[in-house]
Amino acid sequence: MNSQALRVLFVTPECAPWVKTGGLGDVSAALPAALQALGHDVRVLMPAYRAVLGAVRARHVVARLMPSGQFPQAELIAARLPSGVPIRLLHCPALYDREGGPYQDASGADWADNALRFGLLSYAAVALARRGGRAWRPQLIHCNDWQAGLVPAYLHYFPGPRPATLQCVHNLAFQGLFPPQAVATLGLPAESLNAEGVEFFGRLSFLKAGLRYADAIVTVSPSYALEIQREPLGFGLQGLLAARRERLHGILNGIDEREWDPARDAHLASRYDAAHLEAKRANKRALQERLGLPPADDAMLFAMVARITEQKGADLAARLAPRIAALGAQLAVLGTGERAMEQELLAAARAAPRSVAVRIGFDEPLSHLMMAGADAFLMPSRFEPCGLNQMYGQRYATPPVAHATGGLSDTVVDASPAALADGSATGFLFHAPDAEAFWTAIGRAHAAWRDAPTWRALQLNGMAKDFGWGPSARAYARLYETLAAALRASA
């Protein structure tokens, strides 16, 4: 395969460190940088939210988009991410310059104009790809999640020169569904609202548009790529995904090995590497102090950092909190999400304040200390397209206890006797997403923790694994090249 530099536009609704609600923010920072390191010419496109405008000083306008239909006028501001990767910020104050999150207002309700907000993101990507003259034009557009799903649809319904397209699915549970009238608002032809087109049970589906018309579909782990072709994880799109399986790929996310390195992590009380695991103890002490838990070395400390949602199994953790306390262990939870589940967790902490600590909020520094200070990390996700924390946990010598689903199955090796014997074991997997199976896995982890040589072996096995972006970025690059070549051949 010739490894020619390709011009790639990476369209995303969030990018760390400026805007991050979950793993997509991390991926959007790390993957373009890894592709650039391979020699590709990558630019990121993201809305200029208020938080971004606050973080970026230079306001160099490089292009203007004229108003079109319901889309207001917009500008593209050129900036660079901390990695040095160029980013184009889609500046349209009426749609993006407001208090609140990227998708929701401060009360947690979706922005009423999300169809227009993310329709414009896709529209702008297509406009960039179809500029004339000597302007930079992408040869491939990498569309992330439903927010960029209209890119392939616009290119399909408005024929003209086009780049190759790849629709990446980070979470099929979020599909970008809007009332049928949105089709007209967004300038799509009325006939697109059809089961063969962009319609999903009477509504417009941004994600279906991407899945239907992209040249390739990628999801973020090989196991999840299979799971979404069936019920229940296909969330109604399993038929379309199964029909397009020849074009569906699973490429595992990597982790940012600089940001998440226990030997260099500025958020820790004490830094460590595989030869100095005893330094984890100082982090455990610091974490216990910070959370108001008794500074006990002999109480196994389980931690969980996640969106407090059903997907993440936060309710299962709340349900098991009293049993973890009764075991003489400790539980620390950091997260934010559904109010009722947050309340359940807070109630569990009030009932056992010497064993259970819960912090509601988004706190990046604390999440690092939790990774380093905990003995084991809990990920009872009902489904998990990839998941990042189980990889961070292995790197931080904090073995994960995880439900065997999606990317968790692909990255955690269960501590079975055989895997312990051959040195591959890195954590604990359970196979039914319910409290009893989770509890059995916690019990296995607790027993292994009390056996120092076994625990140390698990820690070292996990630390030795390579979760960097290198192999995944190369897999994306190979796919880009194949898609670009196929497009050239068909032109």
As a residue count, the chain comes to 491
Within 392-431, the residues that bind ligand GLC by CB under 6 A are 407
With CB under 6 A as the contact rule, the residue among 147, 253, 355, 459 that binds ligand GLC is: 253
- Least CB distance to ligand ADP at residue 373 (A): 14
349 binds ligand ADP (CB under 6 A): no
**Distance (Å, rounded) from C-alpha 383 to C-alpha 478?**
28
The first and second tokens of residue 77, run together, are: 């501001």
Q: Do residues 365 and 267 lie in contact, with contact meaning Cβ atoms separated by under 8 Å?
A: yes
Write each residue from 2 to 41 as x if it is in contact with ligand ADP (CB under 6 A), else as -, in one continuous string: --------------------xxx-x---------------
Residue 334, contacted partner among ligand ADP, ligand GLC, none, CB below 5-8 A by kind: ligand ADP
Residue 220, contacted partner among ligand ADP, ligand GLC, none, CB below 5-8 A by kind: ligand GLC
The 8-class DSSP code of residue 279 comes to G
The first and second tokens of residue 59, run together, are: 């306001």
Total of residues contacting ligand GLC (CB under 6 A): 14
Q: Do residues 45 and 74 lie in contact, with contact meaning Cβ atoms separated by under 8 Å?
A: no
Nearer to ligand ADP (CB atom), residue 21 or residue 424: 21
**Distance (Å, rounded) from C-alpha 382 to C-alpha 83?**
34
Nearer to ligand GLC (CB atom), residue 166 or residue 188: 166
Residue with tokens 């809990």: 378
Strands of the sheet containing 41-47, edge to edge, are 60-65, 74-80, 86-91, 41-47, 7-11, 140-144, 164-169, 216-219, 248-250
How many alpha carbons lie under 13 Å from residue 113 in its C-beta half-sphere? 12
370 binds ligand ADP (CB under 6 A): no
3-class SS string, 142-191 = EEECHHHCHHHHHHHHCCCCCCEEEEEECCCCCCCEECCCHHHHCCCCHH
Residue 336, contacted partner among ligand ADP, ligand GLC, none, CB below 5-8 A by kind: ligand ADP
The 8-class DSSP code of residue 71 comes to B
Q: Do residues 335 and 22 lie in contact, with contact meaning Cβ atoms separated by under 8 Å?
A: no
Residue with tokens 């993310």: 118
170 binds ligand GLC (CB under 6 A): yes
Write each residue from 308 to 347 as x if it is in contact with ligand ADP (CB under 6 A), else as -, in one continuous string: --------------------------xxx-----------
254 binds ligand GLC (CB under 6 A): no
Residue 440, contacted partner among ligand ADP, ligand GLC, none, CB below 5-8 A by kind: none
Residue 335, contacted partner among ligand GLC, ligand ADP, none, CB below 5-8 A by kind: ligand ADP
- Least CB distance to ligand ADP at residue 174 (A): 10
Residue 389, contacted partner among ligand ADP, ligand GLC, none, CB below 5-8 A by kind: ligand ADP
Element (H, E) at 282: helix 280-291
- Least CB distance to ligand GLC at residue 174 (A): 8
Piece of the chain touching ligand ADP by CB under 6 A; list 109-117, 192-200, 360-368, 464-472: 360-368
Element (H, E) at 218: strand 216-219
Residue 254, contacted partner among ligand GLC, ligand ADP, none, CB below 5-8 A by kind: none
- Least CB distance to ligand ADP at residue 314 (A): 11
Which whole-number Å values give the CA distances from 455 to 369, 401, 420, 450, in the listed order?
20, 13, 10, 8
With CB under 6 A as the contact rule, the residue among 233, 251, 305, 378 that binds ligand ADP is: 305
Q: Do residues 305 and 370 lie in contact, with contact meaning Cβ atoms separated by under 8 Å?
A: yes
220 binds ligand GLC (CB under 6 A): yes
Strands of the sheet containing 177-178, edge to edge, are 177-178, 203-205, 199-200
24 binds ligand GLC (CB under 6 A): yes
With CB under 6 A as the contact rule, the residue among 317, 358, 372, 388 that binds ligand GLC is: 388
22 binds ligand GLC (CB under 6 A): yes
380 binds ligand GLC (CB under 6 A): no
Q: Do residues 65 and 22 lie in contact, with contact meaning Cβ atoms separated by under 8 Å?
A: no
391 binds ligand GLC (CB under 6 A): no
Q: Do residues 41 and 6 lie in contact, with contact meaning Cβ atoms separated by under 8 Å?
A: yes
User: Which residues contact ligand ADP by CB under 6 A?
Assistant: 22-24, 26, 305-307, 334-336, 362-364, 367, 386-389
User: Which residues contact ligand GLC by CB under 6 A?
Assistant: 22-24, 27, 170-171, 220, 253, 384-388, 407
